[in-house]
Structure 1
Amino acid sequence: MARDACPFGLCDGSGFIIGDDLTAADCQCRAQRVARARSRSLSAVIPRKYRHVAFERPPISDLPEPIVRQVRGYVRKIDEHLQAGEGLWLFGDVGTGKTSLAMLVSQHAIDAGHSVAIYSLPRLLAEIRDTYEDDAEHSYVQLLDRLASVDLLHIDDVGAERTSPWVLEQLYAIVNARYEEERAVLITTNLERDALAEQITERTVSRLEEMCEILPLFGEDRRRQRFEAPAEIKVQATRA
């Protein structure tokens, strides 16, 4: 199997640098390779709806310019941000483009060679529940380890899941593991800070605040616009 080229041009794609005395040392790319290998069982696929999102095309080009500019700056230095464990927290009204922007960030991370896991919170919790039915004794711990080690963990719709002690425990465990490992998190939510804290607990939100740059997106629900009749049709209907 062909090896991926070293993004730093230092090794032969193995993740090791062989010295003149034939001793091997870790290459700068080895940490990325290990993270990718551990995350292979995680969801790292951009959903079909978002595979062609771009800064130059709607809906991204129609979003508030200051927010888009900040996201452009983030992806321009994606390596630095992920290395530092710096993520993004996109919040605001329903249908304002949060998920589209987040998927664009994840695509840039994948294109840059980083390991990425992409989940809606309900799906992520479902996968955790599935580990309880797995015969492997440590499958739950192994899943949490993979979620903790991936370069970027993208969780969509945080706060949408009905809360229970079990849900709160799982979400805290994931966020705290990444917090301790200084790994970046990318989240979207419809809830403002205090409302989210009521939903998923203050201790989880406090960690996310420290880990993420917070970007608000407000406005009309773009998904509803297709159902609104043009003005001239409304006038004709009124006259009738």
Structure 2
Amino acid sequence: MPEPSPAFGGNITDRLQRALAARGLDQIDPGPIDNTPAEDEPGHPEYHRRRRAEWNLKRWAAVTPYRYQHATCTHPALQQWADKVAADPRSAGFLLLTGTFGTGKTHESYGAFRRIADAGPDRYEVIATTAPDMYALMRPGGSERGTEYEVKRLKKIPLLLIDDLGTEKVSEFTEEATYRLLNERYNESLPTLITSNLPADSRDQKGVKQGPDLIEKLGERIADRLREITRIVPMDGPSRRRGAA
């Protein structure tokens, strides 16, 4: 029995090729196919950075007081420090913000932590505490988990904020606890942000004290260590709190 002839008289693929050749379209090279994912698709670095940033910002919000939920970082020194933390935490070091009440130290600090989270680093673990709350947890009986647990947690957390250092009463305990904590974090190159209403050293060029300072509140040993291992950023200007009142 003879083979049935094609319904359209010949192989349709051959006919299509002849038609394209007649129009000079058979020599067009479509070029390489780009299978690279777009920025909003899994596999693209920016896609995964955004996902990390979303997760990090949730963690930031969980440790941030309501008052500072909209905090942003505007001070150039803090922006620079935050960007270093996001890119290479071990190189960022310590930052000490000093200034009187209401000059924006705490606001800028939480803003800096937000900036770090939004950069989408692979790891974002943070403790934000005030110095009085920190010492309360570190004292015997101050935590259900135990003093050593709290001390170790503060020493090892990748990112730490200690707000209002120097407001607590001076004691042998606070001096020793502060020194141990700062020294351990310095040795491990863990970024640490500290704020204080007091200057690190209020002495003028002649060595005359101009007012209270961290030497007086924490002792010469701690103040010297802070001057040695931190970059000190004075926060000057009018009180934000008075302006908002």
TM range (shorter): 0.5 to 0.7
3-state SS of paired residue (2:194): strand
Q: Given the alignment, which residue of 94, 107, 110 partners 2:101? A: 94
In the aligned structure 2, how far is the partner of 1:207 from the partner of 1:85? Answer: 17
* Counterpart for residue 202 of structure 1: 220
Q: Quick check: 2:72–2:115 contact (8 Å CA) kept in 1?
A: no
In the aligned structure 1, how far is the partner of 2:100 from the partner of 2:91? Answer: 29
Q: Quick check: 1:96–1:219 contact (8 Å CA) kept in 2?
A: yes
1:118 paired with 2:128, answer yes
Rg comparison, structure with higher value? 2
Q: Quick check: 1:120–1:157 contact (8 Å CA) kept in 2?
A: yes
Matching residue's letter, 2:133: R
Deviation (angstroms), 1:46 = 1.0
In the aligned structure 2, how far is the partner of 1:102 from the partner of 1:132? Answer: 26
* Counterpart for residue 230 of structure 2: 212
In structure 2, the gaps of 5 or more residues are: 1-44, 46-58, 202-212
Q: Give identity over the alignment, percent.
A: 32
In the aligned structure 1, how far is the partner of 2:196 from the partner of 2:222? Answer: 14
* Counterpart for residue 18 of structure 2: none
In structure 1, the gaps of 5 or more residues are: 1-8, 10-39, 61-67, 228-240
1:148 paired with 2:155, answer yes
3-state SS of paired residue (1:186): strand
Let me know the Cα RMSD of the aligned residues: 2.6
1:69 paired with 2:69, answer no
Matching residue's letter, 1:125: Y
Deviation (angstroms), 1:70 = 2.1
Alpha carbons of structure 1 residues 141 and 192: separation in structure 2 relative to 1, 3 Å: same
Q: Quick check: 1:179–1:207 contact (8 Å CA) kept in 2?
A: no
Deviation (angstroms), 1:49 = 0.9
Deviation (angstroms), 1:226 = 4.6
In the aligned structure 1, how far is the partner of 2:63 from the partner of 2:225? Answer: 26
1:158 paired with 2:165, answer yes
TM-score normalised according to structure 2 size: 0.63
In the aligned structure 1, how far is the partner of 2:117 from the partner of 2:131? Answer: 20
User: What is the total number of aligned residue pairs between the two structures?
Assistant: 174
Q: Quick check: 2:72–2:112 contact (8 Å CA) kept in 1?
A: no
After TM superposition, which residue ranges in structure 1, 4 or more long, deviate above 3 angstroms? 109-113, 130-134
Deviation (angstroms), 1:133 = 6.4
